[in-house]
Chains A and B, each alone.
Chain A
Amino acid sequence: MSHHYHFHGVEAEGRPKEVASSVLARWLLRQLSPMKFAIAILIATTFATLALNMAGPYISKLIVDEGITKKDAESLLHYSLVLVAVAAASFALGFLRNYLTGFVNQRFLFEMRRKVFDHLEEMDVSYVSGERTGKIISLVTNDIEAIGDVATSGTMEVMIGALTVVGTIYLMVGFHLMLSLATFSIVPLMVIVSRYFAKKTREAYRLTREKISELTSNVEQGVSGSKVSQSFVERKEVDSITFRKVSGETMRANIRARLIFSLVNPSLNAIRAGSLAILIVYGGSLVASGEMSVGTLIAFYGYSEMFFRPIITLTTFYSTVQAALAAAERVYLFLGTKPTVVELEGSRDIEIERGEIVFKDVSFGYGGNEVFEELNLVVKPSEVVAIVGPTGAGKTTITNLIMRLYDPQSGKVLIDGRDVKEFKYRSLRGQISLVPQEPILFNDTVLNNIRMGKRNSSDEQVKNIISELGMDDLIKSLPEGFYTIVSPGGSNLSVGQRQMISFARAMLKDPKILILDEATSSLDPYTESMLQKAMVRTMRGRTCILIAHRLSTVKLAQRIIVLSNGKILEEGRHEELILKGGAYSKLYELQFGAAPIKEMEQALVTKI
């Protein structure tokens, strides 16, 4: 007599905040429209299944009344075979229905993922940064699935459920009105109880998830700091106590959740039992008095079983839909966000011949912070310029503006006298290379990673650039040379190796303008000198912008620009600035303090 009631999507939470549910619903329907043929068949099979389900108990009624009670062996066989036919048809329909549901679901997910990723590629660099990165990732990893589940199988289930309820009510009332009403009398109680439990279960499981998350953090912290905590031995006891506390809380949260979860079925079954009792007593008397046949009673029982199951699913459906709509809203809003830095109409492929960069009255800021106000800057063709200054002075922003990863609020950035906005992206970025501080490689072979610098380069060309840069040894030191696969996150290579590859990638396209944004800051001195040697080899004939902290890098420049708070404080050659005794020389002097090494320094200065 006991059943397992299932709450559909108990764990789902949230609701849409900004966009109207009707708008979202219509948007979702549009997403489903490519599959309308499959959906139509699906709906048809669903109705057919329903009809067959309804038939089931009725046929048992016939078997009992016509076959058994009337002692008609032939009818018995006849109706039994009908039952078999119904089972076979159900099987076929069931398979078709599952398959189509799966198909619609998979297609939906596929299209959604594609749309989101395609849109992602168009977005501004400023949008895909900071806090938002987690949310964007979550769109693909969580939200799309959440929508898919509800939109396809969830909706099917509800449709079948609702129709089943309607159908069974119709049939039961058709058999006997009073008995039906008596049976339905417990429905309100069931609804209240199941909604109550759905809410409590949700909360309880949310708490367990929180605790597990805490536990994970505790262990993560302990493991990553294990070498440190081993140095501080007093820590052992404290850490153990803290861990046991979180562990204990996790245990209690799990027990509490189980408690609530385990109450659900017993409670609902108890209520069901009440209805069954009514059925037995009332229905029994009806049969005894001849008002109803035995077969009808048995069928009635069958229908009441079919009736109660969907009731539970339906009571929790509302909140499940809300949660799915919340996820849909996030995707909808993301897809609706338009990038601000776009390729303009009329932009063309322009070849950079000289490599002159001019900032004309450029004003720029983000998130309410102003970085530059009417900045004017000139970099001559093939000049090597170093930009120094404290963090936040705007050095990286300059590089972002040159590559048009951002657009200035006012003013112009000109290359060879043309506004960067006139260039097609491919043209602009195909001639300017950026080597950032943190080397970013992708999950592919080293060869392909380098090739990303200039698509359609041959293997030969890639190998040549490596030789030109003097990096043959580097490649030899890799386990599979050029064919070593960089793991996601690049953890199988050292920072130095990755940065060298990143540099080779940048040089493959033989850029007219080369930007090195603190490219050596993360490196140890040995790798740094290797990279600098490679840099020196290749800087001739290009405009180079070096953003650096290290004197060794800065000294490679022909001109140094000192930037602070978005303003140029000084500019000139290293020796000029030292003699000036201004901001630059102060920065430089602070490093030296005590005398003895000064002669060493002079010697080095003249060497380079």
Chain B
Amino acid sequence: MLWRLVRLSSKPQRLFRRVFRYVMMNKAFFFSATALTVTSSLLGLVAPMVSGAVIDRVVAGNVSDIWVLAVVIVALTVFGSLIHFGSDIIGELLAQKVVYRLRTEIFEHLQNLSYSFYDKVDAGQIITRVTSDMEQIGRLLGFALPNLVNAFCMLVSVSCILLFQNRSLALVAFSITPFVAVISLTFNRVVRPFMQRVWTEVSKVNAMVQEVVAGFRVVKALDMGDEMIQRFEGRNRELYDIGMKTTKLSSITWPSLGLIMGMGTAAIYWYGGLQVIGNITSLGELVAFTMYLGMMTWPIMSIGFILTRYQRAMVSAQRIFEVLDTEPEVKESPDAIELPNLAGSVRFEDVTFGYDSTKPVLKGLNLSVSPGEKVAIIGSTGSGKSTLIKLIPRFYDPQGGRILVDNYDIKHVKIESLRKRIGIVHQDVFLFPLSIRENIAYGKPNATQDEIEAAAKAARIHDFIKTLPQGYDTIIGERGITLSGGQRQRVAIARSLLIDPSILILDDSTSSVDADTEREIYEALKELVKNRTVFIITQRLSTLKLADRIVVIEGGKIVEDGKHEDLLKRSGAYAKLYMAQFARQEVSG
């Protein structure tokens, strides 16, 4: 585990009990599946007895109604199979329902978790919890547990039958079982870890291939071909070595089992054979006995596999519950009110905040912004400007001080009603692999085509969209069209325009675009900032010009505050930063 935001008991039994609570939400399924499994395994026990009876009849020469026994066997098999099938299906239904429920719970919980969670946790980890970890639980409940019930049933009932039929022979049979158990345990304890290591080496080999393919131009330019070959040889060889070690170990497992079974059968035949000769048992009983012995092997072997599966599934369960138990850091207070329509004033009162509470980035910051004001926040890297704006929509809560929007403390306002009124155009525009229309209407799923087009026109992207063969229905992303940086930004602007926010946060420090695009973006932004309170963070001169007030952050506090010309004249912090950041202009390419 790479992180642990919540302390969770890692005892498999506790975890299982928790999973079992979900199982119990489907009582009917559980009990019927169990009943059917038990029935089908018990039915399976009848067959050897019938075979035994057949042998005896045959030996005695009494075959007149043997066909009855034949029919019985067929009927038993068919019936038993049907019941087994039924238990399989109900078991699977149960497993899938539990997994469905867990998946829904985790998804909805993830929607509520705050930024700090997503900062700490890597996307891949979250994805595995919703997919492969869930599958592990599904397989445990759908396959492993029913098998366990089956195996247990079989073992108990077969042992009883054997003991009942012929005690001395049964003891001979039981003397084999510890050996089978040992083989099964050894396989799990010893061989499986090796298989894990094989998998690790395979990943290393694959990672190297990926690395070389992705950086192929550089590999060639550096003429690193030979080195790469040597390095790969090393990894390839390690994989081979571990593969061979695993082969040596696993090669012996099944043959050992065969040996034990073979010796056991021989012993039974000999000892039982003597009994038949001495008229203590019939031949039929002996044959039945050997069949029962065969039926004991698989349950014993499978218990080992089931245990491993159980352990693995509980690891998955722990990972899933970890997320479910994580509380969002930004919580809505129970007496939160709905925010009415905003004029758009924002006030920071003595705000102190740090991602790590011991290292504050903002230190007692004060700022008051009137409705409709367009404020540019300037500072050097790490000064806290991006951090400041993240506090406004309550993506994080400050450690000290408070933030007010139209004189409402944002901590006492319903989070959704707050964020509805705030629009954000991010630095790295994130668009979804959906159609352009769906991307623009992302924040307002019920928007009409007219509304969408109006937003696109204002964002200066409508004309471009019209040039595309599928227009607004064109899909963005790998499966569709790749947009340039400037085009993406304009789609994001349209997206924000559509929700018509009272407060706008504009963070556009993207890399260079050509001059034509820059002008289009400027025009789009000009439209976007009309009649809203705007917070601007930018490296681009044209965007800076949209602001009517400049605020400079240094050391977690505001050090300068005023109009662009006035601040330049002062030759203070702003002038310095301006020279460093905006004096570098881009030549279009």
| A and B form one complex | yes
Measured CA separation A265–B119 after assembly (Å): 49
Pairs A-B, 5 closest by C-beta atoms: A87-B262, A102-B247, A266-B81, A94-B255, A590-B515
Chain A's nearest CB lies how many Å from the CB of B84? Answer: 6
Instruction: Please determine whether B240 and A106 come into contact, CB atoms closer than 8 angstroms.
Output: yes
Instruction: Please determine whether B211 and A488 come into contact, CB atoms closer than 8 angstroms.
Output: yes
Measured CA separation A117–B210 after assembly (Å): 11
Instruction: Please determine whether B587 and A258 come into contact, CB atoms closer than 8 angstroms.
Output: no
Instruction: Please determine whether A591 and B587 come into contact, CB atoms closer than 8 angstroms.
Output: yes
Instruction: Please determine whether B77 and A2 come into contact, CB atoms closer than 8 angstroms.
Output: yes
Instruction: Please determine whether A266 and B82 come into contact, CB atoms closer than 8 angstroms.
Output: yes
Instruction: Please determine whether A259 and B89 come into contact, CB atoms closer than 8 angstroms.
Output: yes
Contact with B along A472-505 (1 / 0, CB 8 A): 0000000000000000110000000000000001
Instruction: Please determine whether B584 and A251 come into contact, CB atoms closer than 8 angstroms.
Output: no
Interface residue? B152 (CB, 8 A): no
Chain B's nearest CB lies how many Å from the CB of A202? Answer: 18
Instruction: Please determine whether A114 and B259 come into contact, CB atoms closer than 8 angstroms.
Output: no
Chain B's nearest CB lies how many Å from the CB of A320? Answer: 21
Chain B's nearest CB lies how many Å from the CB of A324? Answer: 19
Chain B's nearest CB lies how many Å from the CB of A510? Answer: 15
**Which residues on A sit within 8 Å (CB–CB) of B244?**
102-103, 106
Instruction: Please determine whether A453 and B222 come into contact, CB atoms closer than 8 angstroms.
Output: yes
Instruction: Please determine whether B277 and A442 come into contact, CB atoms closer than 8 angstroms.
Output: no
Candidates A90, A121, A403; contact of B221 at CB < 8 Å: A403
Measured CA separation A443–B444 after assembly (Å): 44
Candidates B247, B499, B542; contact of A106 at CB < 8 Å: B247
Residue of B nearest to A523 (CB): B511
Chain B's nearest CB lies how many Å from the CB of A281? Answer: 5
Chain A's nearest CB lies how many Å from the CB of B343? Answer: 20
Instruction: Please determine whether B131 and A215 come into contact, CB atoms closer than 8 angstroms.
Output: yes
Contact with B along A52-74 (1 / 0, CB 8 A): 00000000100110011101010
Chain A's nearest CB lies how many Å from the CB of B23? Answer: 15
In B489-544, the 8 Å CB interface with A consists of 495, 499, 509, 511-512, 514-516, 518-519, 539, 541-542
Interface residue? B189 (CB, 8 A): no
Measured CA separation A425–B552 after assembly (Å): 53
Given known contacts A140-B206, A281-B67, A440 and B214 CB-to-CB distance under 8 angstroms: yes
Candidates A68, A77, A128, A294; contact of B213 at CB < 8 Å: A128
Interface residue? B336 (CB, 8 A): no
Instruction: Please determine whether A550 and B586 come into contact, CB atoms closer than 8 angstroms.
Output: yes
- Which among B221, B255, B512, B588 has the greatest number of chain A C-beta atoms within 10 A? B221
Interface residue? A210 (CB, 8 A): no
In B201-216, the 8 Å CB interface with A consists of 205-216
Contact with A along B182-226 (1 / 0, CB 8 A): 000000000000000000000001111111111111111111111
Instruction: Please determine whether A233 and B419 come into contact, CB atoms closer than 8 angstroms.
Output: yes
Candidates B81, B123, B142, B542; contact of A220 at CB < 8 Å: B123
Instruction: Please determine whether A287 and B58 come into contact, CB atoms closer than 8 angstroms.
Output: yes
Candidates B62, B247, B445, B514; contact of A234 at CB < 8 Å: B445
Chain A to chain B contacts (Cβ below 8 Å), 23 pairs: A88-B262, A90-B259, A102-B247, A106-B243, A109-B239, A129-B216, A219-B131, A230-B115, A232-B442, A236-B416, A238-B445, A240-B108, A247-B104, A273-B77, A276-B73, A278-B70, A284-B57, A488-B210, A524-B539, A550-B587, A551-B586, A591-B586, A591-B587
9 A-B pairs besides A90-B255, A140-B209 with CB distance below 8 A are A83-B266, A91-B256, A98-B255, A102-B250, A114-B236, A128-B213, A227-B115, A255-B92, A443-B207
Instruction: Please determine whether B443 and A235 come into contact, CB atoms closer than 8 angstroms.
Output: yes
Interface residue? A349 (CB, 8 A): no
**Which residues on A sit within 8 Å (CB–CB) of B135?**
212
Chain B's nearest CB lies how many Å from the CB of A386? Answer: 9
Measured CA separation A343–B218 after assembly (Å): 18
Instruction: Please determine whether B78 and A273 come into contact, CB atoms closer than 8 angstroms.
Output: yes
Residue of B nearest to A521 (CB): B511
**Which residues on B sit within 8 Å (CB–CB) of A258?**
88-89, 92, 142
Interface residue? A337 (CB, 8 A): no
Instruction: Please determine whether A76 and B213 come into contact, CB atoms closer than 8 angstroms.
Output: no
Instruction: Please determine whether B420 and A591 come into contact, CB atoms closer than 8 angstroms.
Output: no
**Which residues on B sit within 8 Å (CB–CB) of A488?**
207, 210-211
Residue of B nearest to A588 (CB): B587
**Which residues on B sit within 8 Å (CB–CB) of A287?**
58-59, 63
In A95-110, the 8 Å CB interface with B consists of 95, 98-99, 102-103, 105-107, 109-110
Measured CA separation A244–B130 after assembly (Å): 12
Instruction: Please determine whether A285 and B66 come into contact, CB atoms closer than 8 angstroms.
Output: yes
Instruction: Please determine whether A68 and B273 come into contact, CB atoms closer than 8 angstroms.
Output: yes
Interface residue? B589 (CB, 8 A): yes
Instruction: Please determine whether A288 and B111 come into contact, CB atoms closer than 8 angstroms.
Output: no
Residue of A nearest to B81 (CB): A266
Chain B's nearest CB lies how many Å from the CB of A136? Answer: 6
Measured CA separation A128–B213 after assembly (Å): 7
In B18-45, the 8 Å CB interface with A consists of 44
Given known contacts A227-B115, A550-B512, A552-B584, A83 and B78 CB-to-CB distance under 8 angstroms: no
Interface residue? B398 (CB, 8 A): no
Interface residue? B254 (CB, 8 A): yes
Chain A's nearest CB lies how many Å from the CB of B187? Answer: 13
Instruction: Please determine whether A227 and B274 come into contact, CB atoms closer than 8 angstroms.
Output: no
Contact with B along A105-137 (1 / 0, CB 8 A): 111011001100110111001001100010011
Could you tell me the dominant secondary structure of chain A's interface residues?
helix
Interface residue? B287 (CB, 8 A): yes
Candidates B251, B420, B514; contact of A98 at CB < 8 Å: B251
Chain A's nearest CB lies how many Å from the CB of B252? Answer: 5
Chain A's nearest CB lies how many Å from the CB of B53? Answer: 10
**Which residues on B sit within 8 Å (CB–CB) of A529?**
580
Interface residue? A390 (CB, 8 A): yes
Measured CA separation A525–B97 after assembly (Å): 53
Instruction: Please determine whether A254 and B96 come into contact, CB atoms closer than 8 angstroms.
Output: yes
Interface contact tally, CB-CB below 8 A: 415
Candidates B74, B237, B509; contact of A524 at CB < 8 Å: B509
Measured CA separation A260–B321 after assembly (Å): 32
Residue of B nearest to A455 (CB): B227
Measured CA separation A259–B86 after assembly (Å): 9
Contact with B along A442-485 (1 / 0, CB 8 A): 11000000001101000000000000000000000000000000
**Which residues on A sit within 8 Å (CB–CB) of B580?**
525, 529
**Which residues on A sit within 8 Å (CB–CB) of B97?**
251
Candidates B232, B393, B587; contact of A587 at CB < 8 Å: B587
Chain B's nearest CB lies how many Å from the CB of A445? Answer: 13
Interface residue? A161 (CB, 8 A): no
**Which residues on A sit within 8 Å (CB–CB) of B236?**
110, 113-114, 117
Interface residue? A34 (CB, 8 A): no
Interface residue? A269 (CB, 8 A): yes
Measured CA separation A554–B433 after assembly (Å): 36
Instruction: Please determine whether A136 and B213 come into contact, CB atoms closer than 8 angstroms.
Output: yes
Instruction: Please determine whether A121 and B277 come into contact, CB atoms closer than 8 angstroms.
Output: no
Instruction: Please determine whether B218 and A436 come into contact, CB atoms closer than 8 angstroms.
Output: yes
Instruction: Please determine whether A225 and B432 come into contact, CB atoms closer than 8 angstroms.
Output: yes
Measured CA separation A212–B519 after assembly (Å): 44
Measured CA separation A263–B78 after assembly (Å): 12
Binds A, one of B303-311, B351-359, B422-430, B455-463: B422-430
**Which residues on B sit within 8 Å (CB–CB) of A267?**
81
In A391-440, the 8 Å CB interface with B consists of 391, 400, 403, 405, 425-426, 429-430, 434, 436, 440
Interface residue? B107 (CB, 8 A): yes
Candidates A81, A133, A240; contact of B107 at CB < 8 Å: A240
Given known contacts A84-B262, A137-B206, A231-B422, A248 and B583 CB-to-CB distance under 8 angstroms: no
Chain B's nearest CB lies how many Å from the CB of A240? Answer: 6
Residue of A nearest to B259 (CB): A91
**Which residues on B sit within 8 Å (CB–CB) of A434?**
218, 221
Given known contacts A230-B395, A276-B73, A266 and B84 CB-to-CB distance under 8 angstroms: yes
In A192-212, the 8 Å CB interface with B consists of 212
Instruction: Please determine whether B205 and A247 come into contact, CB atoms closer than 8 angstroms.
Output: no
Instruction: Please determine whether A549 and B499 come into contact, CB atoms closer than 8 angstroms.
Output: no
**Which residues on B sit within 8 Å (CB–CB) of A244?**
104, 107
**Which residues on A sit within 8 Å (CB–CB) of B61?**
288
